[in-house]
Amino acid sequence: MKLKLKNVFLVYFLVSLSGLLYALLQLGQPCDCSPHLRAAAEHLRRKDLKISQLQAELGRPPPAPAQPPEPEALPTIYVVTPTYARLVQKAELIRLSQTLSLVPRLHWVLVEDAEAPTPLVSGLLAASGLRFTHLVALTPKGQRLREGEPGWVRPRGVEQRNRALAWLRGKEAAAGGEREPPPVGARGVVYFADDDNTYSRELFEEMRGTRGVSVWPVGLVGGLRFEGPQVQGGQVVGFHTAWEPDRPFPLDMAGFAVSLSLLRSRPGAQFDPTAPRGHLESSLLSHLIDPKDLEPRASNCTRVLVWHTRTEKPKMKQEEQLQRQGRGSDPGIEV
């Protein structure tokens, strides 16, 4: 029997209406997600978390390289540095401390020419990361340079170096702080390093095995390209120098190192504050060793690894002018 067209449309309409009503009833009902959809969502969440972590890592500065462990068998190098207050003091000490930080098993003995430790030097030592001992020794008024006198007129740093020798012999305590002082009886080598010289890191490894007194050339000193021992057959036979070559030890302060055990075995050996010009080094070494027993280093004294440099004294005319106007630089900013 043939169906009428209008009946077909009626049935289609009713079925569609029923489907629409069912769909409307399902709105707002909780979705029963399948397990694989939930797993996919969790995987995406973990990916997002990993991406966030990687982005954070890229934004961080690279970590500082780890310092290699220091072999316990290495003798400690004791670097003795006299220092005094001046405009370039902090700049000099920062430069020196950063060189010393490259040397393993090193202890910095910094001695201020002052009545008491200063905040500038104390703060610099604390921030240096070095093992250190902070001492003070005030130069007597009669031994100080007078205004306008050239630096070579009077020996400088004598009281400070002698105070360091007393500490090395166990007769002096730290005045301004100490970090990791070496144990009593530790093996070591003593080197007198002024704060204005320039030092190669290699120099310190050359001196580390010193048994008595080791020596090497020093550049830009004594009016020459370099001064230093002359060596034949591995033995010191003379000295290349222009000024008073007949001195017992015509060496610069930066040109030798001394075994700590030798210093301790000669308790009377120290620097003489009354020594004539150029004889300060000899006043110590004459009590320790004979020139023929010096130990040449730096390829038999043919290589320069330390330079007697000096920082130019800053000119402060503009600063003085501003101070007279009441507009000087902020004294609270440490320079």
Q: Domain ranges in the chain? A: 76-144+153-214+250-290
Q: Which residues pair with 231 in a beta bridge?
A: 236
Per-residue confidence at 64, pLDDT binned at 50, 70, 90?
very low
3-state SS assignment for residue 116: coil
Q: How many CB atoms lie within 10 A of CB 319?
A: 13
Strand ranges across the sheet with 76-83: 178-179, 131-136, 106-112, 76-83, 188-192, 256-259, 213-215, 295-296
Structure-model confidence comparison of residues 297 and 9, the more confident one = 297
CB 246 within 8 A of CB 252: no
Give dist(CA 55, CA 2) in Å, integer: 73
Task: Return the percentage of the chain with pLDDT > 70, whole number.
Answer: 77
pLDDT digits (tens, 9 = 90+) for 151-175: 666 788 999 999 999 999 999 999 9
Per DSSP, the residues of 157-174 read SHHHHHHHHHHHTT----
CB 110 within 8 A of CB 72: no
3-state SS assignment for residue 218: strand
pLDDT digits (tens, 9 = 90+) for 36-63: 666 666 777 676 666 766 666 666 555 5
- Among 5-14, 267-276, 284-293, 309-318, the range scoring the smallest mean pLDDT is 5-14
Residue positions in the annotated binding site?
82-84, 113, 156, 161, 194-196, 308-310
Nearest by Cα to 82 from 150, 159, 149: 159
Q: What residue has token string 């120098």?
A: 241
| pLDDT exceeds 60 at position 323 | yes
Residue positions in the annotated binding site for UDP-alpha-D-glucuronate?
82-84, 113, 156, 161, 194-196, 308-310
Give dist(CA 15, CA 7) in Å, integer: 13
Residue 62: predicted pLDDT: 54
Active-site hit among 178, 281, 295, 320:
281
Q: What residue has token string 């002024």?
A: 194
Whole-model pTM: value is 0.78
Structure-model confidence comparison of residues 177 and 210, the more confident one = 210
Question: Averaged over 120-138, what is the pLDDT?
Answer: 97
Euclidean distance between the first and final Cα of the chain, in Å? 112
Q: Is 115 an active-site residue? A: no
CB 124 within 8 A of CB 93: yes
Identity at 282, one-letter amino acid code: S
Per-residue confidence at 145, pLDDT binned at 50, 70, 90?
confident
Question: Averaged over 83-100, what is the pLDDT?
Answer: 97
What secondary structure letter does DSSP report for 242? S
Give dist(CA 327, CA 276) in Å, integer: 45
Question: Averaged over 179-208, what is the pLDDT?
Answer: 94
Q: In the chain, where do the E strands start and end?
A: 76-83, 106-112, 131-136, 178-179, 188-192, 198-199, 213-215, 218-221, 224-232, 235-240, 256-259, 295-296, 306-307
3-state SS assignment for residue 39: helix
Q: In 47-176, where do the E strands start and end?
A: 76-83, 106-112, 131-136
Crossing angle of helices 119-128 and 89-100, in 10° steps, is 20
Fold (CATH) for 76-144+153-214+250-290: Spore Coat Polysaccharide Biosynthesis Protein SpsA; Chain A (3.90.550)
Per-residue confidence at 23, pLDDT binned at 50, 70, 90?
low
Alpha-helix runs per DSSP H in 101-235:
119-128, 158-168, 201-207
Q: How far is CA 156 from the centre of its chain?
A: 24
Residue positions in the annotated binding site for Mn(2+)?
196
Identity at 303, one-letter amino acid code: R
Residue 232 backbone phi and psi in degrees, to 5: -135, 130
Where b means 16+ CB within 10 Å and e means fewer, 72-88 reads eeebbbbbbbbbeeeeb
Question: Averaged over 56-71, what is the pLDDT?
Answer: 54
Question: Averaged over 7-20, what is the pLDDT?
Answer: 64
